[in-house]
Amino acid sequence: MNDLIFNLNLKRRYIIPIIIFLVVVLLFWSLNHLITEESPPIIKTQVKYTSTEPINPLPKTLDLDENKVSLGDKLFHDPILSINNTISCASCHALNNGGTDGIPKSVGINGQILKVNSPTVFNTSFNFRQFWDGRADNLRDQIDGPIFAGDEMGNNNWLEVIDRLNQSSEYSSLFQETYPDGITEDNIKDSLSIFETSLYTPNAPFDLYLRGNENALSEEEKQGYSLFKSYGCVTCHQGILLGGNMFQTFGIIKDYFQDRGNVTKADLGRFNVTGNERDRYSFKVPTLRNIILTSPYFHDGSAKTLDEAIKIMAKYQLGIELSQKDTDLILKFLRTLTGDYQGEAL
């Protein structure tokens, strides 16, 4: 009898990963079609890549207007975009800190604490939607969010933003050099979105591995990637970003929010956008690229370490308790996802 139970458990151990892998293949195929048909990005950054893996490497280069990138860079780091000249885009998305601010929830104008954790700005142009709840279709639409949020930059309308920029002779000259019609809402959005598109991080060790360099990863890192797939992490974290191309409920197997307590409106996620009950507690799956640099984790910034985040995901999304050995191996794999920015390692 004991031998029979052992054999059944052994079969289950190998059958479940096979089922998960088949589901991943089907889901990845359907998501590629969903993204292509329903949500084409304003700026075309997607690239075709033939691979048997559920993850694709980032492109090595992007063809962008350098003048617009430069102007967008200046705007991104300038608090002039906030109503009281105290908060810039970089305040919450520091490029020397993985594109985040390293705190659970960011701080806006007048010291106001924001409602969710600020996600990384690196590689954001590859997301199929913007914000945790996906309320913006693309980077250009996303810009309205922080500009007009009362607890972020606090502006009332574009006219007052444009007026402040027009009072600067430097910005007046830069916009005239870059855009024939000078400072306009559309041109501000265009330069910012093109700069943010330039914030991509290619050539991570895992990208090199995907392109055929078997020596780019150690044996332990390869084991971690194998576990990442077999346990089912890759069901949601796939594609070019290892995420960023679908919504998913936070707490599929167990109720994360009941266990955490103190549920807020921000915890409702996609439901706040659609009002559809099936979207309650659903969020855009975050990218795992450069993940070791972007703590704390999740929309609520509740996980301080990547080790903790991995175990929470295993518990609430997969219904398993990971051993420390397997957690460490997956962590080793995730470390291979850190890429380069402007030719230098992040």
Ordered by start, the domain boundaries in the chain are 2-60+201-246+285-345, 66-197
Please calculate the CA angle 164-170-175 and round it to the nearest 5 degrees: 80
22 CA to centre of own chain: 25
pLDDT digits (tens, 9 = 90+) for 202-234: 999 999 999 999 999 999 999 999 999 999 999
As a residue count, the chain comes to: 346
Once rounded to an integer, what is the mean pLDDT over residues 164-179? Answer: 97
* Catalytic site residue from 37, 38, 152, 277: 152
**Nearest CA among 311, 132, 303, 335 for reference residue 224:** 335
Count of alpha carbons within 13 Å of 173, Cβ hemisphere only? 3
Once rounded to an integer, what is the mean pLDDT over residues 39-51? Answer: 45
Q: What is the pLDDT of residue 51?
A: 62
Predicted TM-score of the model (pTM): 0.86
- pLDDT above 80 for 35: no
Domains 2-60+201-246+285-345 and 66-197 share a fold: yes
Q: What is the pLDDT of residue 301?
A: 98
Q: Is 196 an annotated catalytic residue?
A: no
Average pLDDT of the residues of the chain: 89
pLDDT digits (tens, 9 = 90+) for 145-165: 999 999 999 999 999 999 999
51 CA to centre of own chain: 22
Once rounded to an integer, what is the mean pLDDT over residues 246-255? Answer: 97
Strand 247-249 relative to strand 344-345: parallel, antiparallel, unpaired? unpaired
Once rounded to an integer, what is the mean pLDDT over residues 305-326? Answer: 98
Write out the CATH class of domain 2-60+201-246+285-345: mainly alpha
Q: What is the pLDDT of residue 293?
A: 98
Strands (E) located in the chain: 247-249, 282-284, 340-341, 344-345
* Percentage with pLDDT > 70 across the chain: 85
CATH superfamily entry for domain 66-197: Cytochrome c-like domain (1.10.760.10)
pLDDT digits (tens, 9 = 90+) for 258-281: 999 999 999 999 999 999 999 999
- pLDDT above 60 for 18: no
- pLDDT above 70 for 88: yes
Both tokens of 143, joined, read 């810009």
Backbone angles phi and psi of 266, in degrees to 5: -60, -25
